[in-house]
A and B are shown apart, each in its own frame.
Chain A
Amino acid sequence: MADAAAPDIPEDLAQVAQEKSIPLELVRRAMALGFPVEAIKMQMSQPGVTAEAAEQFIAEQEKIRGAGGEISVPPELKAIADEFGWPEELVKRALKLGAGVDMLMNQIKAGIRPDQAERFIEQQERAQQGGMEAALDLSWMKVPTEWGIRVRPGKKGLTVGMINVGTYADIPDVWPYHTEMPRGAYPLAGIPTMGYTIYEKAELWADNCADLYEEAIQRRWRPATDIPWDTVEPLPDEIEKAMCQVCTYLCEKGLLAGDVVGKWLPEMSYGYHEVKLYLSTAEFDYARQFEIFRKRALSNGGGMGMQSPGYFHRAIIDARGWTETSAVLHILSNSFVMGIYQLGEYTAHNEAESLIYRLCMQDVARQLAYGVQHLKYFLSRHQDRRAEVHNYLNKGEAIFVFEEEKDTPIKEALIILLGGGTSGEQVADGMSKLEYFRTRWVRDYLARLAAAGLPDRREKIHPSLKKYVQQPEKTEAQAA
């Protein structure tokens, strides 16, 4: 029979008790101990709660709490608390919240520090006083960043470029934060530096990088399944060997470029996330470059060929600044990689090779596009550094030419592919075509540099490459 002075049990609490088969008398005793209704309901709702466990818990709490609500700490708990430096008052607060004696002793012995416990107990006390919402601090919700942004997708969906609106479109010339804080977020004081070294926009920016990122994601392809591998058929031995040598060369180029960009990404501060996003897709492109040409080399009875001398690789990886690296890797090196892709597609022996080279062209074209636009941006902000950029290219071209002279395997492989074999006539044809293609590569390389703001590179290009430069007058005369 219920005590007339006992508190009434709210209907929803009674329902939970009924569902968990907990006698209402136990609920009344819990309420009489001062536990809030919501807290009792939450405790009863926990999985595994039984009437026996509830009885044991309430009996313990009734022992701890005096008639006036005064909490007394059991001696065994006090001894453990003293040993681990827990103030008695803190233990009492925990008990008042409903912590079990055994559980509390275990927590103390497990090494929970008093200051850690204090924070948790405070949170729980707030929750008991004002409901669960009071357990949350919520001050972060008043963060003074721009709010109410509601960008809608366009024809290409919701792109990175489109969300650059309001203050989120402010891309400062110098990024002042040394942490991984995203642009537009609110900075915290005291966060350790992440060790980036590039904080100036001109040192890495390209106006097209947000678009290039989306383009790379959209136009991704899968070497394993997108290539009609079944069209690859046995080729004459010398052609397969030449093809595999080109594949080996392109594998090396992919690995190197991946290492180079991977080395520079952690140097770039987070204020320019568009660049970091695009370059992370370029990393993937380089991995795919390695993957696809290794797969081609090992799919038609051939294998890997000779390593290249690697002088030019060192020139790229040893560059001391990103703009130098980008100019040499993205424009100089990739202009010639693009040339090999064009040539590879031109000499393709089957649908698989033709498609491989076309898809690779797309990937390297994005890298060229970043390189050109970055150099253009850099020169527009640092007109006084044009001579410095020419010096980067002087060095890069010189080592590139030296490497070309030393790399007999790739040169001869290209000649064999272009000539169609190793007979005297075929070799002569291959050599003639290679010279023709070099003229085109140099033309395209110089056209890209001109677009980047270096039209005068035509006059300064390395002497060994200058012989391939078509003079405008000559072209007009030929046309006439």
Chain B
Amino acid sequence: MTQGATTTKATFPSVEWFKAISAIVNDDPGYNHIGTCDATVGVRIPDLEKNYLLTFEAFEVSDVREVTPAGAEDTDFWLEMPYAKWKEMLENIKQNGKADLHHTLNTIDLEDPEGFARSHDGYRRDAFYRFNQTFQYFFDSSAKIDTAFV
């Protein structure tokens, strides 16, 4: 992915931050090229008590909202790790223009015995793999904004 001009500033984690990334991918032919994706994805940062729900629908991220922990888990799967690990991942993406080989979603998932991608349903969790490139592209797109950390 080519890093474009930085025009947006947002703080992670926040609804604004996820909306900024959504706006970038929704307008990105490269994201569209990956193909359709239908999945609800939770984002959990337990030590900050922050939980979000991202809705991926067809060729866009159609909704972003802050939810309760239960709301984040009432999804196909949720991505959960401590704030410091989120920060490390996003800083790595910013530094390289995309995740390097040690910071891809799959790599982070494998390194955590509990898993980075979690679900209450073995079938729905596989959405993490079915649309993996979409989710990777989504987070890699954070390289295009200036992220401030709380």
Contact = CB atoms under 8 A, between A and B. Distances in A.
Interface of A: 154-156, 211, 214-215, 218-220, 338, 342-343, 345-346, 348-351, 354, 357-359, 361-362, 364-366, 368-369, 372-373, 376, 436-437, 440, 444, 446-452
A214 B36 contact: yes
B123 A452 contact: yes
6 contacts: A218-B35, A342-B110, A362-B133, A365-B130, A372-B123, A373-B123
B136 interface: yes
A452 B126 CA distance: 13
A452 B123 CA distance: 8
Contacts of A376: 123
Contacts of B125: 444, 447
Nearest to B130: A365
Contacts, number: 90
A342 B109 CA distance: 9
B140 to A, nearest CB: 12
Secondary structure at the A interface, as helix, strand, loop or mixed, is helix
A351 B98 CA distance: 11
B104 A155 contact: no
B55 interface: no
A314 to B, nearest CB: 27
Contacts of A365: 126-127, 129-130, 132
B122 interface: yes
A296 to B, nearest CB: 16
B107 interface: yes
Given A366-B130, A369-B130, A215 B104 contact: no
Contacts of A372: 122-123, 126
A351 B59 CA distance: 25
Contacts of B130: 215, 362, 365-366, 369
Nearest to B105: A358
Contacts of B115: 440
Q: Give the size range of B's interface with the partner.
A: 20 to 34
A362 B126 contact: no
B49 interface: no
B34 interface: yes
Interface in B57-88: 57-60
A437 B110 contact: yes
A154 B38 CA distance: 13
Contacts of B150: none
B147 interface: no
A436 B129 CA distance: 19
A435 to B, nearest CB: 12
Nearest to B102: A346
B126 A354 contact: no
B78 to A, nearest CB: 15
B101 to A, nearest CB: 5
A346 B131 CA distance: 17
Q: Enumerate the 3 nearest inter-chain pairs by beta-carbon distance, A residue then B residue, closest first.
A: A447-B122, A218-B35, A219-B35
A358 B122 contact: no
B35 A220 contact: yes
A373 B121 CA distance: 13
